[in-house]
Chain A
């Protein structure tokens, strides 16, 4: 038996901040003391708090250490493991706690979270099926095997689960359509082609709890009468794919995949298809085409995949998070428990990838209906550097922008739709006063424009024309008619594009025009970008009254455009300045002003 378990976050976020090096240093230190065998070290799933990685959680002591470095390991081993003393300097500290926080229950980031989908992430070894079974895994599947398939669909409907991949369609209803579709051969497909910039919810689930996806797919297979499934996962997720392969091999060994599973006469085979990373392959019909070996392009619906999907057979497609919810619903009493969380129209929890100008970035799983304010200020810890919250982009490039005035909007499918955004897969990009909304719209549209598959004219040509207009506005050559043209183009693209990606890609433009029209008008009429982002539309000036001559700006300026003596106000040579913004980031006094081109500093505030 082990004295302690050291769960190191081995998900991609912490790996990129060096958790593998921390693990190596830890192992080396334990070996140095001849203690390696006393401790179990697991590179496990993601605890969500990427901002403070690398993270090690020690059990049974229940101590959460964060922001660790390899050089910290000797101290951690000596003090905590050998002397039994908690190392306070590795505990979570921040403006939201009075004293260093020891464990999840005292860290504010976790206070409003509810772990359904992420229930095992960071607690189990994702490469050990036994641990998944210990956490109640495969019990729901065993129960489903003894049920009538249509009764499974009914339970999922009663629970109120809606697809977590974007559109939010009723999962149980989708399953029922496939169940009732004629045909002996049917398929289950898991959409793990997570492509929204900044979104990594699905990757985290796949890496931290792969058996949950397998169990969800097995239950779906039983419900719709399928004997084969595909997981379509992008090749950029090598760790997720590796863990899925291990999970499939283990499930086969245990008789949970294959023929006559658990003696119920149910057969199910699971395949992994690696995607090449095209954003459009997240659209279900393009994804099916890609699995079939064709070019990943959408096709018109109907027929819907439930009638004619993979290889022309009835097919149910759900995304990773949707499948991860299913075992919770199918366990004894699970449907009622699931439905007890959330709002009338949006049940359960939702995992969000919190990014942007918020203090606590990472993954969070919160009950549906939580407000934007709670996510940003309670979970996210507020805006970085004490700046003002301006807006949040919900739902990735297909989503929309919600302004600060709607900070108390509950996050659920219907409220987000009404506000002009969508739930999408769960990306939340938080913006402060330094974000230019025209530039934001241009960024997301440039993404969808580049990723447009080109099959239908409205998306292929329409997004290009819209992007040209946004480029013009950002460069100071926009004309007042541009806003009407953008509106009209957006309406046409939404109405006539072939697939969901085309139909939703104007959303960032429409929502920013809806809520931040004055910023567009300022760019067009005054040739001014108040956020200081569109380089053609502003200059930087140093506030001579506030500048203390600390030289921080001058030292960081890459083109030596800032002149001035120490302890005397500095000045910017406008001819040299490239408006890179380095000085703004560095100035401790906030004395760099954003000023319209051709005007002096004293005209702005």
Chain B
């Protein structure tokens, strides 16, 4: 998962054609539709790469 639009695993189905209502919240707080610490870490890795400091992310 390099970008938020990439799927964390096969359980994520968000695409332009098959949109998920929770997509935006899922980018930071996800995964929302399933529980998987590894999927959550993948999102945090994207954030860690560019966050300037610990106040950078606003939820």
**Interface of A with B (CB < 8 Å)?**
1-2, 5, 7, 40, 59-60, 62, 123, 125, 128-131, 133-136, 138-139, 141-142, 145, 252-255, 258, 260-264
Contacts and interface: CB of A to CB of B under 8 A. Distances in A.
Contacts of A128: 50
A135 B48 contact: no
B28 interface: yes
Contacts of B32: none
A7 B56 CA distance: 14
B19 A136 contact: no
A1 B15 contact: no
Interface string B1-37: 0011100000000111001110111011000000000
Given A135-B57, A254-B4, A262-B21, A130 B46 contact: yes
Contacts, number: 74
Given A128-B50, A253-B5, A255-B14, A142 B25 contact: yes
Contacts of B24: 133, 138-139, 141-142, 262
B16 A255 contact: yes
B25 A260 contact: no
A264 B52 CA distance: 33
Contact of A252 (B14, B16, B53): B16
Contacts of B27: 130, 133-134
A130 B50 contact: yes
B41 interface: no
A123 B58 CA distance: 13
Given A254-B4, A254-B5, A5 B50 contact: yes
Contact of B4 (A7, A130, A142, A264): A130
Contact of A60 (B14, B19, B21, B52): B52
Contacts of A145: 21
Given A40-B50, A135-B57, A136-B58, A258 B16 contact: yes
A331 to B, nearest CB: 9
A123 B56 contact: yes
B39 interface: no
B10 to A, nearest CB: 18
A138 B53 CA distance: 21
Contacts of A62: 53
9 contacts: A130-B27, A130-B46, A134-B28, A135-B56, A135-B58, A139-B25, A253-B5, A262-B19, A262-B21
Interface of B: 3-5, 14-16, 19-21, 23-25, 27-28, 46-53, 56-59
B50 A255 contact: no
A127 to B, nearest CB: 12
B4 A125 contact: no
B52 A123 contact: yes
Nearest to B45: A1
Nearest to B15: A255
A134 B23 contact: no
Nearest to A131: B50
Contact of B28 (A133, A254, A260): A133
Which 4 A-B residue pairs are closest in the complex by CB-CB distance?
Answer: A59-B52, A136-B58, A255-B16, A263-B19
Main secondary structure of the interface of A (DSSP, over half): mixed
Nearest to B48: A1
Nearest to B52: A59
Nearest to B53: A60
Contacts of A141: 24
Contacts of B4: 129-130, 133, 254
B49 A263 contact: no
Contacts of A264: 21
Given A134-B47, A139-B25, A263 B52 contact: no
A40 B49 CA distance: 9
Contacts of B57: 134-135
Nearest to B14: A255
Given A130-B4, A133-B24, A253 B16 contact: yes
Nearest to A2: B49
Contacts of A40: 50
A5 B47 CA distance: 13
B56 A134 contact: yes
A263 B28 contact: no
A262 B5 CA distance: 13
Nearest to B21: A263
A525 to B, nearest CB: 61
Given A5-B50, A134-B51, A142-B23, 7 more contacts: A40-B50, A123-B52, A129-B4, A130-B4, A135-B58, A138-B24, A263-B20
B50 A260 contact: no
Contacts of A125: 50
A134 B25 contact: no
A536 B48 CA distance: 65
Contacts of B3: 130
A262 B20 contact: yes
A1 B52 CA distance: 12
A133 B27 CA distance: 8
Most buried by A among B15, B24, B46, B59: B24
